[in-house]
Homo-oligomer: A and B are copies of this chain.
Amino acid sequence: MTCTGLSAFPLTPIREDSVDERAFAAQVTRVAAAGVDSIAALGSTGVYPYLSRAERARVARVAVEHAGDVPVIVGVGALRTSHVLGHVDDATDAGASAVLLPAMSYHPLTDDDVVGLVETVAAHSPLPVIVYDNPGTTHVTFTPELYARVARVPGVASIKIPGVPTEPAAAREHVARIRGAVGESVTIGVSGDPFATAGLAAGCDAWYSVIAGTLPEVALRLARPALAGNAAEAEAENVRLAPLWRLFTEMGGSIRVIATIAELLGIAEQPCLPLPIRGLDGEQRRRVAAVLEALQIS
């Protein structure tokens, strides 16, 4: 697969402390039908670090079975390298097209630790590796130098970067610096949905999108013009979606907002997050519902 375009990160809904496979399968089917370029199961929104190896292997299989012709990326992150390799084997057996590798940490990792992890996984994996930089959850900070080191590892196909500056010139400079570090053969994908428009306009090749995993049509209305180079149309859509992005920042990240949206739209049963994470409370839920209504999302 080419790691470009719109990649959708669906939730893994949890019901009574088990993966709700039926809800997950329905969501993958829906997202694939909408026409995204890839589906990434078991990303952060897919709550990968909360699941057992058996649950993750099963989620990978269900994703591939329901994605049709859409390539499936499977998250393989874990704190221990040997556990990561087990997840890579399971993803490969499930028929994944690529693996997504976060540098998960508990004790802080050095750059050498991160490079060693990427080298070990890439040498082991028959699939392309997408390196996942998400400091808000993994607490590893990638510098341009670290991007350059991991991009040189054979088998690394793409880097998923966190949000870029929203000011266009600053965004271009930021992405150009990363491009200079990783070269032309490794794609750069922006994440953090509120920054996607700026990132794509600044030269990112992919949008690794949380919202596309639950509301693929909403994401596509922004992604299609953005990926076609029609920055003005994309920006108009981005501005229209600002109330949604504000929910992400005001409610401590996207996971609780996305879970609530899935619950409100009947895509997942309430509650759908793994404890100890509780969903949004009554007043917050009403605010999410109001934003969906204002944006005519149903």
Contact A253 B137 (CB under 8 A): no
> Most chain-B Cβ atoms within 10 A of its Cβ — which of A81, A112, A116, A276?
A276
Contact B278 A107 (CB under 8 A): no
Contact B110 A278 (CB under 8 A): yes
**Does A274 have its Cβ within 8 Å of any Cβ on chain B?**
yes
Contact A49 B276 (CB under 8 A): no
A106 to B274, CA, bound (A): 12
A108 to B134, CA, bound (A): 13
Contact A277 B109 (CB under 8 A): yes
Contact A82 B275 (CB under 8 A): yes
- Chain B residues within 8 Å of A51, by CB: 80
Question: Which residues in window 49-85 of A have CB below 8 A to B?
Answer: 49-51, 79-82
* Residue from B117, B137, B274 within 8 A of A275 (CB atoms): B117
Contact B278 A120 (CB under 8 A): no
The residue in chain B whose Cβ has the minimal distance to the Cβ of A136 is B108
**Does A145 have its Cβ within 8 Å of any Cβ on chain B?**
no
Main SS at interface, chain A: loop
* Number of this chain's copies in the complex: 2
B interface footprint on A195-234 (CB within 8 Å = 1, 0 otherwise): 0000000000000000000000000000000000000000
The residue in chain B whose Cβ has the minimal distance to the Cβ of A50 is B80
* Residue from B82, B107, B275, B278 within 8 A of A277 (CB atoms): B107
- Chain B residues within 8 Å of A82, by CB: 17, 275
Contact A255 B113 (CB under 8 A): no
**Does A139 have its Cβ within 8 Å of any Cβ on chain B?**
yes
Contact A112 B80 (CB under 8 A): no
Closest Cβ of chain B to A180, distance in Å, is 26
Question: Which residues in window 99-146 of A have CB below 8 A to B?
Answer: 103-104, 106-110, 112-114, 116-117, 120, 136-137, 139
**Does A282 have its Cβ within 8 Å of any Cβ on chain B?**
no
Contact B113 A278 (CB under 8 A): yes
B interface footprint on A10-22 (CB within 8 Å = 1, 0 otherwise): 0000000100000
- Chain B residues within 8 Å of A79, by CB: 49-50, 274
Contact B275 A116 (CB under 8 A): yes
> Which chain A residues have a beta carbon within 8 Å of chain B's beta carbons?
17, 44, 47, 49-51, 79-82, 103-104, 106-110, 112-114, 116-117, 120, 136-137, 139, 252-253, 255, 274-278
